[in-house]
Amino acid sequence: MVLNDLTLEKLVSEINGYKEKMRTIYEEYGRASQDLQDRINVLGYTLNEHLKETKDQIGNTPQRLLNLETKYVTGEVSEQEYRGQREEFKGLLQRNLHSIEEIKDMIEVLTHIETRPLASADFKQANPPAPRTLIEEWARNAVPQQAPAATQQAPVSTPTSPSIKFSASSIVSERPWAPPATPAT
């Protein structure tokens, strides 16, 4: 099937239109990806600060407990008050240890979230149609002539508005980081 110049130009312009739409989508994705990365960085920083504060609290607790023990031994604190504060320290330590584990888990999750902004270099412009003489020569060489040159073939009708249908399996990915699609066998 030989395509005329008008059909090729329409196809190329339609392909370029789709590529432009994809470029716009990927630019929006890039902005969203950057926004997500910024939020991840802020959250990571906040979690690290909270982790430091929690570790400091845990580090100060033994000294505070020792002060409580000293006050109890010297009689400055009653036994009931001593036991109550001791239970508070115990609960505080347990909450802080649990909080540290949760923070570590959250930081681990944040390190696995990948955000990759796309560059415009990921897109390639479709080639413009070749000059008419080259297309005619290709068509002449591609289709072997079985009849003598004197007989002409019937003209092939071409639709005025080409319709292109895509299936998911026929689309080639322009995402170099995506794993290659393997055809179902």
Q: For 107-122, write each residue's pLDDT tens digit.
A: 888 888 766 555 555 5
Q: pLDDT class for 124, splitting at 50, 70, 90?
A: low
Domain coordinates in residue numbering, the chain = 5-113
pLDDT at 13 over 80: yes
pLDDT at 184 over 70: no
Q: pLDDT class for 1, splitting at 50, 70, 90?
A: low
pTM for the complete prediction?
Answer: 0.47
Average pLDDT of the segment spanning 146-161: 44
d(CA 96, CA 90): 10
Average pLDDT of the segment spanning 129-151: 44
The whole-chain average pLDDT of the chain stands at 71
Q: pLDDT class for 129, splitting at 50, 70, 90?
A: very low
pLDDT at 21 over 50: yes
172: Cα within 13 Å, side-chain hemisphere:
5
Average pLDDT of the segment spanning 127-156: 44
- Residue given tokens 């413009």 in the structure block: 128
Tell me, rounded to whole angstroms, the distance of Cα 150 from its chain centroid. 60
Q: What is the 3-state secondary structure (H, E, C) of 114-128?
A: CCCCCCHHHCCCCCC
Q: pLDDT class for 4, splitting at 50, 70, 90?
A: confident
Query: pLDDT by residue (tens digit) across 95-109?
Result: 998 998 998 888 888
d(CA 129, CA 173): 23
Average pLDDT of the segment spanning 51-75: 90
d(CA 50, CA 103): 8
pLDDT at 74 over 90: yes
Phi, psi for 142 (deg, rounded to 5): -75, -35
Q: Which helix (H) or strand (E) holds 12?
A: helix 5-74
pLDDT of residue 151: 45
Average pLDDT of the segment spanning 155-174: 37
SS3 156: coil
